[in-house]
Structure 1
Amino acid sequence: MSLLIRIDRYLRRTGVPPSTFGRRAVNDPRLVRDLRAGRMPGARICARVEAILQEAE
């Protein structure tokens, strides 16, 4: 499953705004918007996002 799909599911489930998620995850409020626009995240960003998603499960 793609990272963006997992983020979107997390956002729907928790009600956290995309900008807040990006700020908490990697200090980038545009993260989710940029991913939706085709941005390819690096390994460090993926690891930080994965950590947040794992905490929520």
Structure 2
Amino acid sequence: MSLLVEIDRYLRRTGTPPTTFGRRAVNDPRLVGDMRRGRLPGPGVRARVEAMLQESQ
């Protein structure tokens, strides 16, 4: 499953705005919007996002 799909599921489940998620995960409020437009996160960003998603489960 793609990281963006996992993020979108988290956002729907929690009601968290995309900008808030990006700010909390990697201090980048544009992260989710940029990913939706094709941005591919580097390994460090990806690891931090995955860690945040794991914490929420």
Q: Per the shorter chain, which TM-score range?
A: over 0.9
Q: Distance in 2 between matches of 1:22 and 1:53?
A: 12
Matched with 2:52 is: 52
Which consecutive segments of 4 or more residues in structure 1 shift more than 4 A?
none
Taking structure 1 as the reference length, the TM-score comes to: 0.99
Q: Give the aligned length.
A: 57
Letter in 1 for 2:4: L
Is 1:15 aligned with 2:15? yes
Q: Distance in 2 between matches of 1:33 and 1:40?
A: 11
Gaps of 5+ in 2: none
SS state of the match for residue 7, structure 2?
helix
